[in-house]
A and B are shown apart, each in its own frame.
Chain A
Amino acid sequence: MDDRIGNALADGMSWTSRQLRAAPRRIFGRWAQRLPMDFRILYKQFLLRILDMEALSVEADMVEYLAQFAGILIFISGIQSLGVLFVVLLHSGPFTPAELYTMGWTAEHGIVEKMLLAAGLVVVFLWDAPFPDRRDVMVLGPLPVRPGTILAAKVASSAAVLGLAVLCLNWSTNFVWPGVLGGLHSPRLCLACWLAVTLAAAFLFSTLLAVEGLGALLLPRQVFLRLSALGQLAAFALFPIGYFLLGQIDSPTAMMAAENRWTVACWPGYWFLALLKQVAGELPPEMSWLARLAWGALALSIISAAAALIASYHRTLRRIAEQPDLEPSRSGRTWQFPLGSRLETVLVYFSLRTLGRSRQHRIALAFSWALVLGLVLGMARSWMEERGPRPVDESFLIYTVLMMALAVGGMRGVFALPIAHKANWMLRVTQLRPTEHYLAATRRVLLLFAVFPVWLVAMLFSLGYRPWLAVTGHLLLLAIFGLLAIEVSLIGFTKIPFTCSFLPGKTNMQYVFWGYVLGATMIVVFVTSCEQPALISITRFVVMAALAIAATIALRLWNRERERKAELYFEEKPEPPLITLGLIVNPRARI
């Protein structure tokens, strides 16, 4: 029975994946055939290079990987729509106009803000993708391809990824919400929702192109690359900050209040909400300036993007060929403060340098750290609202434990992405110590770069909570939880961070995502039902701490025993010396 359900699920997912692959060809096939061949080839290449293919195993399937991300957004949209339907069905009697008015603002604001957050993160992920890199210049430079074609293919491939995110995140909500609660205005409201989310995403993408294009045009290439990397990190922080700190004013009255005027004027979420309301014909006259701001900002960003991109592109290609990406430095120091044994120290620094210098790794890590930052900002917000010390509450406990889980899980996840995995021969020929020593170094990386920073932040926030005994108890449990999270994340892990080839599809992103959701739910249940009562009773606390320590030690011993017998591995799927053409797609078809 279980097998049948499993097979049905697998078949269903495989069918969805096939449909997702075939859909663009079905919809745009005839139209696409009219585009120039060189554009089509480059577009496909650039689309599949959103992730660096050199980091992947030979059998990596990028389409499958992107489809998994799309699947997560589709699911989120579906769940939100179900939520709206439940609210409507469970509500006793019809909604009053006042209720509908308030719900409308909240829901539409939510649609715009979520789109802004998701599109913002996608835009930051795409950061350098619309611009040629050295590899593009070296490969395409000698070929008879016009810079304009490269420009068009680059921009189109990035826009396609963003377009897919817009479509997947809104496919259900933007139909269900206007359909259920819009009444006679449903079609117009639906159009307004789609227009607002599309234009919000277009605004962010154009702003990125304008900023990057102007930067490439005005700055020396090395300076541009350095500033661009910093800008990417800053942008990653900006969207969670905006979402959690600025984008939380829901009611129209609060939006129009004088004390919130600057917040509303600064954050694009409100501009595009006003634009949505304007197109839907529901915008209060007091807010028409916000809609004008949205249209103005959009026009400005599109015009600047087009001008900056076209002007810089012709220069950029030549500059990339003429100027090195990195200027040889004439001074510096190879500093290495001891952070454990010599092996641990060298591998900790290797990890630190990889995270600090590799764009791909920073971005992968930033996805989980953006959530951590969001939680920190949420705590900071409630901290600022309170005057003086406050009692240890549920939200403080839940936020800090979630931060710890996200930090350790995110760091462990990014370990799987290699940096120059063909260079790992060096680690293999110099493996002079037992495997467990290498894994001790991995443990040290997690402790220093995930557990310790989160614990430190929690400790700083805890200064505003009372009683001290409960605060100290929570910090102690948090530290034990951090160590336990490290041991859990290292179950079955026998790699050196950043050295093993990556096989997207081996780990299904959807399972990971929903695993995280389940984990977060369990943490909430654990904190409210176990930790909170334990912090007010010494006996319960001692029992709980003893159990947590025992679990950590048991798992540590079990991991150590496994590590003693394990061998380090560097390939998720070894590259076969004989490569088959794979012409038979379905072996069953032969029978």
Chain B
Amino acid sequence: MLELRHVSKHYSGIPAVDDVSFAALAGEVTGYLGPNGSGKSTTMKMITGLLEPTFGEIFFDGIPILADLIAFKRRMGYVPEEPYLYHHLSEAEYLTMVSELRDLPRNQGQERIEGLLHLFSLHGDRHASIQGYSKGMRQKILLIAALLHNPDLLLLDEPFSGLDVASALVLRELIQELAARGKVVLFSSHELDTVERISARVVIVHKGRLVANDEIARLRGLMELPTLEEIFSELAVEQDSRSVALQMMGLIDG
């Protein structure tokens, strides 16, 4: 189980994440939602250890992650929001490097890389430089790199970004299967329909603060709203979207 207890991250005294507490359970998918700038990626980075919380603690299986960060990193897979990769390497070189850095047995690592490249339809381009790749192809490489070592915790920040429909469907099934096999899956996305389909529970943040943390079915009942999109609009959207669109048109039209 992944657990955040009163976690905050302040920049120059200004909170980007403010007193957030929630738990993501093994065996289920937890959706992490919020508008742009609400602190989702900052939270993800704190969980990976890339950022240190200003206050609060993060636990994995009851142990603070900072107590033994290296042991925690061995069990974690991470797909960041932006697909930054070493573009001068080929995908085979990049993934081999990740496999070696993760200390996977050489044969096992190569076997998994080859297999996953085939399944993600990237095998034909495995010796081409990443520089020429589309956003979707880069996203697939990130996903393979995160899955190579069969992690117990998967942190997925906008994993569907740039993927084609077929790959997105595969990924959706994959996420559910990973959860079914006892992994902790925390994923953040703006595709509310997808989140609603595959997540058992959602955590919604707004302006760095937690505004909802519950099972989707319970939230629907409590708020008497039929879809996650409407729940999200109620909790985290302050603007009237139609009115904003009309104001924009007014500006463009002069």
Contacts and interface: CB of A to CB of B under 8 A. Distances in A.
Given A334-B127, A578-B12, A326 B132 contact: yes
Contacts of B73: 429-432
B1 interface: no
A350 B92 CA distance: 13
Interface string B88-123: 111011001110111100100000000000000000
B169 interface: no
Q: Size range of the interface on B?
A: 35 or more
Contact of B128 (A329, A333, A429, A433): A329
Interface stretch (A139-147, A271-279, A367-375, A415-423): A415-423
A328 interface: yes
B85 A420 contact: yes
A110 B129 CA distance: 45
Given A328-B132, A334-B92, A423-B84, A576 B11 contact: yes
Contact of B80 (A325, A326, A333, A425): A425
A429 B88 contact: no
B127 A432 contact: no
B50 interface: yes
A556 B80 CA distance: 38
Contacts of B102: 430, 432
A558 B65 CA distance: 31
Contact of B86 (A327, A330, A332, A420): A420
A327 B127 CA distance: 10
Nearest to B146: A429
A325 B103 contact: no
A345 B78 CA distance: 24
Contacts, number: 106
B63 interface: no
A354 B85 CA distance: 13
Secondary structure type dominating chain A contacts: loop
Given A326-B128, A328-B125, A578 B11 contact: yes
A210 B46 CA distance: 53
B67 to A, nearest CB: 16
Nearest to B142: A426
B11 A425 contact: no
A330 B70 contact: no
A354 B125 contact: no
Contacts of B103: 342, 432-433
A324 interface: yes
Interface residues of A, number: 38
Nearest to A345: B100
B135 interface: no
Given A331-B127, A345-B100, A577-B16, A429 B132 contact: no
Nearest to B93: A334
Contacts of A488: none
Contact of A430 (B82, B89, B98, B124): B98
A428 B70 CA distance: 10
A358 B88 contact: yes
Interface in A505-562: none
Given A334-B90, A336-B96, A326 B101 contact: no
A357 interface: yes
B27 interface: no
Interface string A218-239: 0000000000000000000000
A427 B78 CA distance: 12
A346 interface: yes
A420 B78 contact: no
B95 to A, nearest CB: 9
A354 B88 contact: yes
A426 B145 CA distance: 9
A565 interface: no
A578 B74 contact: no
A548 B84 CA distance: 45
A448 interface: no
Nearest to B78: A429
B88 A420 contact: yes
B136 interface: no
Given A324-B132, A329-B128, A430-B101, A577 B11 contact: yes
6 contacts: A326-B128, A343-B101, A350-B86, A423-B85, A430-B98, A433-B103
Given A328-B125, A432-B73, 13 more contacts: A325-B131, A326-B132, A327-B128, A328-B132, A329-B127, A332-B92, A334-B92, A342-B106, A343-B100, A426-B145, A430-B101, A432-B70, A432-B101
